[in-house]
Amino acid sequence: MTTCPVCDNKRAIGKVGTEQYFCWDCCVEFMIRGEETTIFNVQPDGTLTLYLEPMENIR
């Protein structure tokens, strides 16, 4: 079972690709390759940008 790396929830996870998942709770997409998880923000126009923690966001 896949858990969302952002909200630590597994009930709102949808699979969108081979190793790609989407969380309906936080609207993020994440990719799992072995031990490595990459998180993306989904922009309103559908593009993916790398997810940044609010604290790491300079703006």
The residue written with tokens 């936080």 in the block is 26
10 binds Zn ion (CB under 5 A): no
Rule CB under 5 A: choose which of 26, 31, 32, 42 binds Zn ion.
Answer: 26
Nearer to Zn ion, 55 or 58 (CB): 55
For tokens 């996870």, the residue is 13
Q: Judged by CB under 5 A, which of 23, 29, 30, 39 binds Zn ion?
A: 23
User: E-strand spans in the chain?
Assistant: 13-15, 20-23, 28-33, 36-42, 48-50
What is the contact surface with Zn ion in residues (CB under 5 A)?
4, 6-7, 23, 25-26
